[in-house]
Amino acid sequence: MPLIDDPEAPSSPGDGEGRSVLTRERASRRPTRMLLLACLPAVAVGLLIRVWVMHTSLLSLNSDEGITGLQAFEVLDGRFRLVVAGNEYGATTESYLMAPILHFWTGVWPLRVMATALSALAAYALYRLARPFLERTIAVTLALIGWTTSGAFVLLWSRAYMGYNTGFIAQVIAIALACHAIRNPDKLARTAVLAGFAAGFATWSHPMFGVVAVLALIAPSVYHWRRLLTWWLPAAAGGVLGVLPWLLFIAQHGWPTSALATVPSTYEQRVVNFFTELLPRMFGLLAPDGDYWLPSWLAVAVATVLIAGSLTGLVLLVVRRGAPAVPLLVAGVLAFPFLAVFKPLGFVADGRYALPLLPMVLMGLGAWFLLLPEAVRRSPWLIVTVPTIWALVLCVPVIHQQVGWRTENPDQDAQLVVGELAARDIHYLAGDYWGTYLADYLADGQLTVAPDVSVRLSDEAAEVNAADPTQVALVYTTGVNPTLRLPAQDYQLVRIGVYDLYLP
């Protein structure tokens, strides 16, 4: 008599047919449960690393994140923006996601929780991209590596930068649909609409994600070049719909200008820096200050192997999986020369501009798993060991190199500034960008602020500038020369950690 959990057991008449269906359902759940259990070590390590960095100075809340929260407060007040305040580009998606949370819970942790949840969704998107090409075990392994790629990426995944996490997810969806359009031409028009929408949404989120998403769509566009009604028109319509908020903003305010480059560089320097600095930071080999955590010769060797392996792996993936992998190869190769056109991408210190490259890099590295024996490729131990070891070797050391094992409340100084202002019943605040908007968010948007430069909320700034200077406090990061509105003797200087607070 066959075991009840045997999916191949023959069914008997009557209720035996229902028992056979139940047997197959139970058998299909067993591998899934096993894979979920195998994920636990890497997920736990990733969460512990996130909790660790959230209690270090590396992840103190900044004004860019404060703007995300302040725009979420605006959403609750019925004010809806199409792009990031003070910008001419950048989706406000994160602010809309934050608004319901801020209705119940304010402060630092809502931003952190939302960003972490989006990073988990990004890992799932990577899994869905990899799954049609690779076994489930390999796809899960790559997704978990994406979850905790490096110290730089853990910091980026944990910050509520508008347009970054959601833009990355949209880009991955666009690439996955580009591959699907070649793999399965059935219902091509629907695939085209969704792919175009994802690429448009990625462009609205941040142009760097849009560029890579559009590059991925080149291959299916060539593959289906004769299908005007089932590919080209639906893809174009979806793209317009996805980028529509930005188009409306441009119609109202004119064509946007490029963001200013914080680090001067030539086109050739940016291309070189992608390989010599940006990707090594993405792999966790290089710290923001330019120091390697390994001996420099070894770190360079590891970086060279990983970079070369990811690019040649894309070729291997095309050889093994055929035309559906071509969008990955096209996007992976062309991303470097096309992204280098953007002058702001000369800034490589925190690794943020490597995010658009991550899907292709992981897929290229994952292709080499295809050369392993099938028993190894399908083993859950691949999930247990590889992402966990990767995180411990390429994520933890660079973080430790910068802050050691010390933990602290990284936002204590800013919170004390807000407390001091509240105690003195001061509602107007001016000063530098990195202090004003941060204080405003931590005060739940109850302050009216005006930074000296990089004005985001122009209405508030105008109100502060029109106010009586004796009612306006000033906050500056220690070491920054203040722009005083009154004679120096009319201020009381209070030093709170890294901030100088000038009280009238």
Virtual torsion, Cα 352, 354, 358, 361, nearest 10 deg: -160
pTM of the model: 0.91
pLDDT value at position 29? 54
With a CB cutoff of 8 Å and minimum separation 6, the contacts of 13 are none
With a CB cutoff of 8 Å and minimum separation 6, the contacts of 410 are 54, 55, 56, 57, 58, 59, 60, 61
pLDDT value at position 33? 84
Q: Are 279 and 357 in contact (CB under 8 A)?
A: yes
pLDDT value at position 10? 37
pLDDT tens sequence across 233-289: 999 999 999 999 999 999 999 988 877 788 889 999 999 999 999 999 999 999 888
Q: Are 287 and 401 in contact (CB under 8 A)?
A: yes
pLDDT value at position 380? 92
pLDDT value at position 8? 36
Chain-centroid distance, C-alpha 416: 30
pLDDT value at position 366? 96
> What kind and span of H or E run contains 321?
helix 296-321
pLDDT value at position 346? 92
The two beta strands, 492-496 and 499-503, are antiparallel
Report residues of the chain scoring pLDDT below 50: 1-19, 21-28
Q: What DSSP designation does 256 have?
A: P
pLDDT value at position 12? 39
Backbone torsion region of residue 453, taken as left when φ is above 0, otherwise alpha when ψ lies between -120 and 50, otherwise beta:
beta
The two beta strands, 448-451 and 428-431, are parallel
502, β-bridge pairs: 474, 493
With a CB cutoff of 8 Å and minimum separation 6, the contacts of 250 are 256
Q: Are 140 and 74 in contact (CB under 8 A)?
A: no
Q: Strands across the sheet with 499-503, in order?
A: 448-451, 428-431, 472-477, 499-503, 492-496
With a CB cutoff of 8 Å and minimum separation 6, the contacts of 105 are none
pLDDT tens sequence across 32-42: 888 889 999 99
CA contacts within 13 A on the Cβ side of 199:
27
For residue 83, the tally of other CB atoms under 10 A from its CB is 21
Q: Are 452 and 481 in contact (CB under 8 A)?
A: no
CA distance 340 to 326: 22
Go through the chain and tell me how many residues it has: 504
Ordered alpha helix ranges (H), 322-457: 326-339, 358-367, 374-377, 381-394, 396-403, 412-423, 433-442
